[in-house]
Amino acid sequence: MEDFTAEQREILDAARRFNAAEAARFIDLMESQNRFPPELPRVLAQYGLMGMRFPREYGGSGLDAMGAALAIEELARVSPAIADVILCLHAGTGLLLAYANAEQKARFLPPVARGERLSAYGLTEREAGSDLAALRTVAQPTSDGFALRGAKIFITLGAVADFAVVLARTNLDAEKPHRGMSLLLVEGHNRGKPQEFMGLRGTAVAGISFNNLVVPRQNIVGVENEGFKQVMKSLDGGRIEVAALSVGLAQGALDEAVKYARQRKQFGRRIADFQGIQFLLADMQTRIDAARGLTYRAACLRDAGRPHSREASQAKLFASEAALQCASDALQIHGGYGYWKKFAVERLFRDAKITQIFEGTNQIQRIVIARSVLEEG
């Protein structure tokens, strides 16, 4: 921690204290009932974790990308689901920080920092996942704003969010579809019921829909019809945070594997003394160190204002694959016990897979990286 700033050390310590004092009770509720704990945001806010990226005038800590990555990594070491809540809040509010006007920021950001309101980020649709330009949600211009109609799916916090940052078509006559999209601040949307997924349970993932919902013109975020471009520019930050979540998950899996290997005995010896187990642990540690290095590099480049799209994609790609492999190896070390819900590695294994899918699938990351390499060549 010698190279971290005082602010970075402070938020990392806050995440550690949250994990030690609070995380277990929330994990139990989220896992057993697939229910988002309504008190979770306020507790996270007490530790300064809800608005850590917000400037101080909006109730935040003004942290940089590196500080946020450290906090998300630490939270994910114990609960990837809780880390994902923070990550998804950052996705929508990050666009507000980048593009919203002062009135919008003052209205929407402080309640989030205090844990009083939750935001969702409305991008994905049934026919628009990796191909975001294919989205069909329409915001039809009216005399005083827009009539919003359409639906979004797989929205983290969608079942509980008080408002959403939604990408919709505002110019149906645009020559190219992606040139006619805008970001809108939406309240009063229809919330779907929480959906059942393999992992990251209790994060209130649901569809949200709009049936000619009236959205005032002053709720446009940034420049009208520039929403697609704004979203594309924001993806690098999200990928760094997914990488940080993946590193934390992998570290949590290794921690559990080491603890179990030291305790479990077979053939009269600790299984930690067997070379086969040691090789698995060695590979896990090496993957984690490499993933952490890629993640921190991308975060530092972002904080320095330097180009980092390729580095963000590399971090997300490598760290997410390391997370799934480390979770699998940790489960293997546990043997049959690892397949039992009583043990944390079973949950970490289920949580790991989504890191290869959201914020751009790993196939998309490879395209981004390859294009960058070819352009340089």
Residues 161-165, mean pLDDT to the nearest whole number: 96
For residue 320, what are the contacts with CB-CB under 8 A and spacing of at least 6? 242, 243, 246, 352, 355, 356, 362
Q: What is the pLDDT of residue 179?
A: 86
> 242 is written with which tokens?
């997914």
- pLDDT of 377 higher than 80: no
pLDDT band at 173 (very low <50, low <70, confident <90, very high): confident
Contact 357, 324 (CB under 8 A): no
Which residues are part of the catalytic machinery? Answer: 359
pLDDT tens for 123-141 read 999 988 888 888 999 999 9
Task: Compute the chain's Rg from CA coordinates.
Answer: 21
**Please, what is the end-to-end C-alpha distance for the chain in angstroms?**
37
Angle between helices 275-303 and 227-263 (to 10 degrees): 150
CB 178 within 8 A of CB 131: no
* pLDDT reading at 3 higher than 90: no
- What would the pLDDT profile of 175-209 be if each residue is shown by its tens digit? 787 889 999 999 999 999 999 999 999 999 999 99
Q: Considering the entire predicted model, what is its pTM? A: 0.95
Structure tokens at 133: 């330009």
Q: Which residues pair with 206 in a beta bridge?
A: 155
Q: What is the pLDDT confidence band of residue 2, given thresholds at 50, 70 and 90? A: low
